[in-house]
Chains A and B, each alone.
Chain A
Amino acid sequence: MTLLTWIFDSLLGLSLLWLAWRALACPNLFKAIVLFVAFGLLMALAWVRLAAPDVALAEAAIGAGLTGALLMAALAKLHPTEAHNDFAVPPEKNVTKVWSWQWLPAITILLVTTGLGYVVLSLPPYATGLSTEVAANLEISGASNPVTAVLLNFRGYDTLLEIVVLLLALLGVWSLNSADLDHKAAPGIVLDTLARLLTPIFILVAAYLLWVGAHAPGGAFQAGAVLGAAGVLLLLAGWRPRTGLMALPLRLVLVIGPAIFVIVAMLTLLIAGQMLEYPPTQAGALILILETAATVSIGVTLAALFLGGDPRKNNRNKNHT
């Protein structure tokens, strides 16, 4: 490691810690969210330094972009008295007691961190993990990008469950809230124009990431996140899908990813005897089919999470009143 990269890494590490601290400690919640988004972008830079470009793409699109948008939207909907300030200790608390109880977690966490740091440093400095196994089986996996091979082939089971988790989270959100489906005027001509110009580009980028994921950094999650970001941008610009599309078509698109995954899992279980064990000659095609369906579902689910409620409930309420 040369001196220059060492200085860069140390500065990046310190900035990450400082941004995290400011995001958690600054009294203004709006500022905290902006700092958190900046933190996410610097995290993406750290992933690149750790030779993990796939993670960097996912972090930049999801960790910084979508999470930031979700937090901002939630902050805007909070009751105005609650949205402003946040004291670590509510001011009406007994002042003399503050010392004892505020230092207790700090000391405990300092001890825990020291222990964790010691454990991390005592690990062997050289370990290949599973990288040799991945490299040995990459030929028959159907993808030459090791991360895509792991996600869609070697550990396809995890990815299947994860897409289901995404769907479950949306079901949770839908059962709690209903969405406002009235068309809104765009907040400004700049955002309106920008959304119109950027949406086709986002779709193109998503398709590119999906296709390139087989042999270079990219893949279903990154593509789905970009698609989701296009949806968020459209929603921010005031666009709402027609109510006819919100019932069955939306639900079909939401489940197509998990559904195709489950179908492929069952077929491979019946034919090959092992769940999600693809025949090497068809592995590439199967991965592409799975990824395409997953991308569409992930993108629409993320946009629907941003909308933040069941789009059909709203109509039902309107019909009653």
Chain B
Amino acid sequence: MSTAFLYALVGTGLFALGLYALIVHAHLLRKILALNIMGSGVFMVLVALAKRTGDAPPDAVPHAMVITGIVVAVSATALALTLMLKLNAKSGHAELPDDRRE
């Protein structure tokens, strides 16, 4: 298996781990971590598949898109963390209300 496909599979694995944690964890900080790891997985698949050029330099377009994505991810994380802190300040919890408990 070539380097590109090895890392692409690692990327899929990261995406899966993130998605699982996003669903099973109740704490919002953990959900934000999970989203970040899902994003890292997607970025890794993109960049790994850009390297399927043999010995030639890899495709620069996915690289540029991933750099854009990393910056968007950090701004989304900052906004999500602020929303979480606001919820925490209002309700004392850092979890979303669960319908089934009522």
Within 8 A of A (CB), among B16-60: 16-21, 23-27, 29-30, 32-34, 36-37, 40, 43-45, 47-54, 56-60
Question: Please, could you name 22 A-B residue pairs with CB atoms under 8 Å apart, sorted by A?
Answer: A16-B14, A36-B36, A43-B44, A55-B70, A63-B74, A78-B94, A109-B20, A110-B16, A113-B13, A116-B12, A126-B53, A128-B56, A147-B64, A150-B63, A151-B64, A151-B67, A169-B76, A169-B79, A173-B78, A176-B86, A221-B67, A225-B71
Report yes or no: B58 in contact with A131, Cβ–Cβ below 8 A: yes
Which residue of chain B lies nearest to A32 when distances are taken between CB atoms in the complex? B33
Among A155-163, A190-198, A203-211, A258-266, the one that faces the other chain is: A155-163
Which residue of chain A lies nearest to B39 when distances are taken between CB atoms in the complex? A63
Q: Is B6 an interface residue (CB 8 A)?
A: yes
Contact of B47 among A24, A29, A55, A112 (CB under 8 A): A55
Q: Is B81 an interface residue (CB 8 A)?
A: yes
Q: Is A50 an interface residue (CB 8 A)?
A: yes
Using known A-B contacts A20-B17, A78-B94, determine if residue A129 contacts B62 with beta carbons closer than 8 Å: yes
Report yes or no: A166 in contact with B71, Cβ–Cβ below 8 A: yes
Report yes or no: B64 in contact with A50, Cβ–Cβ below 8 A: no
Which residue of chain B lies nearest to A101 when distances are taken between CB atoms in the complex? B24
How many residues on chain B are close to A (CB under 8 Å)? 78
Report yes or no: B67 in contact with A50, Cβ–Cβ below 8 A: no
* Majority DSSP secondary structure for residues of A touching B: helix
Q: Is A182 an interface residue (CB 8 A)?
A: no
Q: Is B83 an interface residue (CB 8 A)?
A: yes
Among A81-89, A247-255, A271-279, the one that faces the other chain is: A81-89
How many residues on chain A are close to B (CB under 8 Å)? 99
CB-CB under 8 A from B25, the residues of chain A are: 24, 86, 88
Report yes or no: B78 in contact with A70, Cβ–Cβ below 8 A: yes
Contact of B7 among A49, A70, A78, A130 (CB under 8 A): A49
Report yes or no: B88 in contact with A78, Cβ–Cβ below 8 A: yes
Cα(A127)–Cα(B8), bound, Å: 14
Q: Is A286 an interface residue (CB 8 A)?
A: no
Q: How far is the CB of A303 from chain B (nearest CB, A)?
A: 11
- Interface flags for A152-195 (1: CB within 8 Å of B; 0: not) read 00110011001001101110110011000000000000000000
- Interface flags for A4-24 (1: CB within 8 Å of B; 0: not) read 010001100100110011011
Q: How far is the CB of B51 from chain A (nearest CB, A)?
A: 5
Report yes or no: A50 in contact with B3, Cβ–Cβ below 8 A: yes
